[in-house]
Chains A and B, each alone.
Chain A
């Protein structure tokens, strides 16, 4: 990778100082030609692509460093352990955690939220207690809490949104009661792209002694995340949306919270001693990492955040903002196109509906032109219900996308409209 990218003078467009052409060659998959057309990959909110640097790191690990960790005294095990823990340090730095042990490796955001539900929720939330969630949550930040509420007899209160897809903060503040035990809020809506004012929401909750879990799956790839500045109690995100491998994610938790939580999964590595009479649990983070973790995936994620940091998250955010603004303005000018989610503060996601055309037909026809978008309810059915649509078409951007690809999307949409005329 060109390590001088921050200083790259190339300017492909006046709105963006970053030229994606300088890094597109890092992503072998972007050279594919599905259906004989250049791939226009606009499904990054579902999963982003992996640069050669991360692929090479995975190959190097499997080729010359692999063994199980935290166990044997042999050289390979020591190397694997050191690299796995180095990845934890990289992730801690990436989100500015105070301590490395506050970073728990999970299999992804869903697993991270389930860890918080089992470890924190099942211990500290009981009958009659209340959990505040928002209309914008992904199913993965709804269903675990519903399971807990059903088990314990707790209640879920939901923060509504306005027609732009922004949380109604006055309503949020009005939902607190003496029984509120937790707030779960997404940093960025996966279906609409709305950026929620989580710092302010966390401060309000903390003033009432209520901890906050932030679902950062859609935020971590697109903006600087500083968990100390946010002061969140928990922050969950996935590796595969960050140019890393699947099967790896992170639950950040404040050390004081993690220490008072109960373990989630039982097994090896999460214990200090075991007899049939009594087991003593390990310290954090090992307490929450039972069994052999996805070592290669964690090391790959470490390489991915190195890659992103070298480009600069602020550079990435600025380029994606330029893409989003360009795309939103372009699609808004097209007759028959309705943008779903027009929050003042948005990140990297453009959801829309085409008059008279079902999103699944849009997706199939765009695919014919090599354009990969997501169609459906985006695992956010409450958002779809709020906007009274069964589904939307969603284009979601990464830093390697170009303004020319936005033009290709617009041309693809025009073609769909022509077919359905």
Chain B
């Protein structure tokens, strides 16, 4: 139950208030829309790849602070990285958020993204943090639309909504 205390740290609130790389790109090689129908979060992600390298990235959308800050920090972290390096971060971020990667004990490349580790204690908020990464994965695989509730979603799991 300590997750929420550590989750709303200043770095997350700052990225929510002033999201980086927010908007659209003039040249787009890859894009995808991410949607969480359970809470209405949606974001649109655009990338421009120069060969294997992410030369430019931008996002926009409506979401909770956790999702928006996650998207903002994701863009600053993957810009300039190769497709493979970005995919590694997608995997490590997912593993951290779902409690399969203990960032204190295991090697990783997440850097400051570990501020999101607290979501592992808040099962209903895990998808908020993961949605941007999920959308990045879809964009890199040229899947135009993805949803946290789609069958192909590796995070697919019911969240109560009574």
A interface vs B, CB < 8 Å?
34-35, 46, 357-361, 364-365, 367-368, 376-377, 379, 384, 390-391, 419-420
Q: Which residues of B contact A357 (CB under 8 A)?
A: 65
In the complex, are the beta carbons of B63 and A364 less than 8 A apart?
no
Of A35, A368, A377, the residue contacting B40 (CB under 8 A) is A377
Q: List 23 A-B contacts (CB under 8 A).
A: A35-B4, A35-B5, A358-B39, A358-B41, A358-B65, A360-B64, A360-B66, A361-B64, A361-B66, A364-B122, A367-B4, A368-B4, A368-B5, A376-B161, A377-B39, A377-B40, A379-B161, A379-B162, A390-B40, A390-B41, A390-B62, A391-B39, A420-B16
Given contacts A360-B125, A365-B8, 12 further A-B contacts (CB under 8 A): A46-B162, A358-B39, A358-B65, A360-B124, A360-B128, A361-B66, A364-B4, A376-B39, A376-B161, A390-B39, A420-B13, A420-B16
In the complex, are the beta carbons of B1 and A360 less than 8 A apart?
no
Q: Measured between alpha carbons, how far is A270 from B128 in the docked complex, in Å?
A: 47
**Minimum C-beta distance from B144 to chain A (A):** 22
- B residues 90-139 near A (Cβ < 8 Å) are 122, 124-125, 128
In the complex, are the beta carbons of B64 and A358 less than 8 A apart?
yes
Q: Does B157 contact A (CB under 8 A)?
A: no
Q: Which residues of A contact B38 (CB under 8 A)?
A: 376-377
Q: Chain A: interface secondary structure?
A: helix
Q: Which residues of B contact A367 (CB under 8 A)?
A: 4
Q: Which residues of B contact A390 (CB under 8 A)?
A: 39-41, 62
Q: Measured between alpha carbons, how far is A368 from B65 in the docked complex, in Å?
A: 16
**Minimum C-beta distance from B148 to chain A (A):** 13
Q: Does B25 contact A (CB under 8 A)?
A: no
Of A377, A384, A420, the residue contacting B65 (CB under 8 A) is A420
Q: Measured between alpha carbons, how far is A377 from B63 in the docked complex, in Å?
A: 14
Q: Which residues of B contact A419 (CB under 8 A)?
A: 8, 13
**Minimum C-beta distance from A281 to chain B (A):** 32
- B residues 44-59 near A (Cβ < 8 Å) are none
**Minimum C-beta distance from A168 to chain B (A):** 26
**Minimum C-beta distance from A195 to chain B (A):** 21
Q: Which residues of B contact A358 (CB under 8 A)?
A: 39, 41, 63-65
Count of B residues near A, CB < 8 Å?
Answer: 22
Q: Which residues of A contact B162 (CB under 8 A)?
A: 46, 379
**Minimum C-beta distance from A332 to chain B (A):** 24
Q: Chain B: interface secondary structure?
A: mixed
**Minimum C-beta distance from B158 to chain A (A):** 14
Of A46, A364, A377, A420, the residue contacting B7 (CB under 8 A) is A364
Nearest-CB residue, chain A, relative to B63 = A358
Q: Measured between alpha carbons, how far is A367 from B41 in the docked complex, in Å?
A: 21
Question: Could you say which of A359, A364, A365, A377 has the most chain B C-beta atoms within 10 Å of its C-beta?
Answer: A364
In the complex, are the beta carbons of A391 and B40 less than 8 A apart?
yes
Question: Could you say which of A365, A367, A390, A391 has the most chain B C-beta atoms within 10 Å of its C-beta?
Answer: A390
Nearest-CB residue, chain B, relative to A364 = B4
Nearest-CB residue, chain B, relative to A357 = B65
In the complex, are the beta carbons of A360 and B39 less than 8 A apart?
yes
In the complex, are the beta carbons of A34 and B1 less than 8 A apart?
yes
Q: Which residues of A contact B65 (CB under 8 A)?
A: 357-358, 361, 420
Q: Which residues of B contact A34 (CB under 8 A)?
A: 1
Q: Which residues of B contact A361 (CB under 8 A)?
A: 8, 64-66
Q: Measured between alpha carbons, how far is A364 from B128 in the docked complex, in Å?
A: 12
Q: Which residues of B contact A360 (CB under 8 A)?
A: 39, 64, 66, 124-125, 128
Nearest-CB residue, chain A, relative to B122 = A364
**Minimum C-beta distance from B125 to chain A (A):** 6
Nearest-CB residue, chain B, relative to A416 = B8
Q: Which 8 A-B pairs have the closest CB atoms?
A: A390-B40, A358-B64, A360-B64, A368-B4, A361-B65, A364-B4, A361-B64, A35-B1
Task: Return the CB mask of B1-32 against A: 1 if under 8 Å, else 0.
Answer: 10011011000010010000000000000000
Question: Could you say which of A359, A360, A377, A420 has the most chain B C-beta atoms within 10 Å of its C-beta?
Answer: A360
Question: Could you say which of B4, B5, B128 has the most chain A C-beta atoms within 10 Å of its C-beta?
Answer: B4
Q: Measured between alpha carbons, how far is A359 from B124 in the docked complex, in Å?
A: 13
Q: Measured between alpha carbons, how far is A364 from B12 in the docked complex, in Å?
A: 14
In the complex, are the beta carbons of B4 and A365 less than 8 A apart?
yes
**Minimum C-beta distance from A381 to chain B (A):** 9
**Minimum C-beta distance from B119 to chain A (A):** 10
Q: Which residues of B contact A368 (CB under 8 A)?
A: 4-5
Of B40, B41, B62, B125, the residue contacting A364 (CB under 8 A) is B125
Q: Which residues of B contact A364 (CB under 8 A)?
A: 4, 7-8, 122, 125
Nearest-CB residue, chain B, relative to A108 = B162
Q: Which residues of B contact A379 (CB under 8 A)?
A: 161-162
Q: Measured between alpha carbons, how far is A367 from B122 in the docked complex, in Å?
A: 11
Q: Measured between alpha carbons, how far is A368 from B1 in the docked complex, in Å?
A: 8
**Minimum C-beta distance from A288 to chain B (A):** 23
Q: Measured between alpha carbons, how far is A419 from B124 in the docked complex, in Å?
A: 21
Q: Measured between alpha carbons, how far is A261 from B14 in the docked complex, in Å?
A: 60
Nearest-CB residue, chain B, relative to A369 = B4
Nearest-CB residue, chain A, relative to B3 = A364
Q: Which residues of A contact B64 (CB under 8 A)?
A: 358-361
Q: Measured between alpha carbons, how far is A420 from B18 in the docked complex, in Å?
A: 12
Q: Which residues of B contact A391 (CB under 8 A)?
A: 39-40
